Structure 1
Amino acid sequence: MSDHTIDAHALHATAKYKQFPDLANQVAFITGAGSGIGRAMADAFAANGTHLALLDVNIESLERARAELHRTFPQIEVECLVASIVDETAVEAATASIHARFGRIDILLNNAGISANRPTLELPAQQWRHAIDVNLNGVFFCAQAVARHMVAQGSGVILNTASMYGTVAAPERAAYCASKAAVVMLTKVLAVEWAPKGLRVNALAPGYVHTALVQELVSTGRMDLAALKKRTPAGRLGEPHEIATLALFLASEHAAFINGQAIVADGGWSAYSYI
């Protein structure tokens, strides 16, 4: 591939996202970075000159992301780590490795999570525990490990990915709604506790976003895309780059007085009471 082609790709990717100059040369740690919203976050922050540490359980998706990012944004550094966020020892080791390489961690995009849809009377204890473990415990482990370094440096931004279903209820989502609502409250606790130490902690609360997982559910008949669009006042699903752009703003100095909030981006879904 020619340098001209690389420059064209970089120009296109950079133009896709709002520019926040204060994010240049910062270090962002992104969990669940191999696909979906996490992968879009990697592009968004790379387009702003942010160096990246990407964590996922899928090594193939991480290596693909690394290659694409190096090709499009050769000026940034990319570190890839394979680990599960439910393993606190692995999280501590990954965080220490990132800090050793870059010397600081400025932003944590605490994005990794799983879906959990099943009638509550049929929900096995194992599935309930797994949802809580990934969606809540993993978020806590990552926030705690990274915040220790942020407190030492006197600054940092943590963005936890919750969900609109952490603010409103839906049937057959007991584990998902409970875990994401807990992420919202955890975010508020961490925000008020760590604000005096120079940290900001907020939550992203996306609605239905057009990811590969959603596309798979649609293609297998487990999700009615037409019904979702009709139910959403915006008339469509969100796109990963829209959630990533929200993360850029919240991580930037423009959001310096926003702390302890769950910012819902759902096309009006949760504001609309009609079923």
Structure 2
Amino acid sequence: MTTTYDATRPFAGQAAIVTGAASGIGQATLELLHAQGASVVAVDRQESVRALARPGVEPLVADIAREESAELAVRTALARYGRLDILVNNAGIIINKPVVDMTLDDWNGIQAVNSTGAFLFSREAMRAMVPAGRGAIVNVGSYACYQAFPTIAAYAASKGALAQLTRALSLEAIEHGIRVNAVGSGDVVTNITNHIHADGPKFLAEHGRNAPIRRAAEPSEIAEVIAFLASPKASYIVGAVVMADGGMSVALR
């Protein structure tokens, strides 16, 4: 019996975990993977993630920075779907503070989610993927993987760590048939800065005009890159940070 490949559903029969899935890039990625055939464990610390429940989408309210959350997410995928093929480490937070005004809790809180959380989820996903000899991990980075501006020291440090985690883990993973890559996103119209600005999406839309493309991205645009990196179409891409930032990382301003 020959199985026909359906290009519209490249993830048919596969299972994924998406962190930070309740909104923004995470929700857009969840919707795209699910539409293309994947069953998804949708992880977020916000209770609103429960509203995403449906056949093929299992919401999980959990703190990304906690070891037991990563363990539970992987157990859930294996229990519900019998496998784990894709991990998208999307959850992220940001603060805008000069270093001299930053507390240790400020610093540690950013690292805990943006870099340690990705480490924990990647470790647990690898433990499930290695025996199967397949899988893809996609980390959601930023132009802050490479660049910085005042007040984002904690965020930039966490995204730099994420880029290096991507590279180092990719070398450990590829011998097991698992590809690890990252997306370096630019400004995206999401709620990530709502705790800093009265209208976070509006701020990001305006800030995005500083990019050569002269706009911010929609979450769906970054989701497309994530899905590509998770798919067989990216079969020769290993350890890359693929910039999807409207040219921000190549512009000198």
**What TM-score does the superposition give when structure 2 sets the normalisation length?**
0.91
Query: Cα deviation per residue 1:139-192 (whole Å; 9 max; x = unaligned)?
Result: 100000011000011100000111110111211111100010000000000001
8 Å Cα contact 2:95/2:196 also seen in 1: no
Q: Map residues 123-134 of structure 1 onto 2, 5 A cutoff.
A: 123-134=102-113
Give 1:248 shift.
Answer: 1.1
Aligned residues: percent identity? 38
- State the distance in 1 between where 2:32 and 2:97 align: 33
Letter in 2 for 1:204: V
What secondary structure does 1:213 align onto?
coil
Q: Map residues 1-275 of structure 1 onto 2, 5 A cutoff.
A: 20-59=8-47, 61-66=48-53, 70=54, 76-214=55-193, 219-220=198-199, 228-274=207-253
Letter in 2 for 1:128: W
CA distance 1:98–1:178, change in 2 (3 Å):
same
Contiguous gaps of at least 5 residues in structure 2: 1-6
Query: Cα deviation per residue 1:225-253 (whole Å; 9 max; x = unaligned)?
Result: 67524411111100000000001111111
Give the paired residue count.
Answer: 247
CA distance 1:230–1:52, change in 2 (3 Å):
closer
What secondary structure does 1:171 align onto?
coil
8 Å Cα contact 2:42/2:60 also seen in 1: yes
What secondary structure does 2:157 align onto?
helix
8 Å Cα contact 1:218/1:225 also seen in 2: no
- State the distance in 1 between where 2:201 and 2:13 align: 42
CA distance 1:268–1:84, change in 2 (3 Å):
same
**What TM-score does the superposition give when structure 1 sets the normalisation length?**
0.84
CA distance 1:156–1:118, change in 2 (3 Å):
same
What secondary structure does 2:22 align onto?
coil
- State the distance in 2 between where 1:114 and 1:165 align: 13
Contiguous gaps of at least 5 residues in structure 1: 1-18, 71-75
Alpha-carbon RMSD: 2.0
Larger radius of gyration: 1
- State the distance in 1 between where 2:120 and 2:57 align: 22
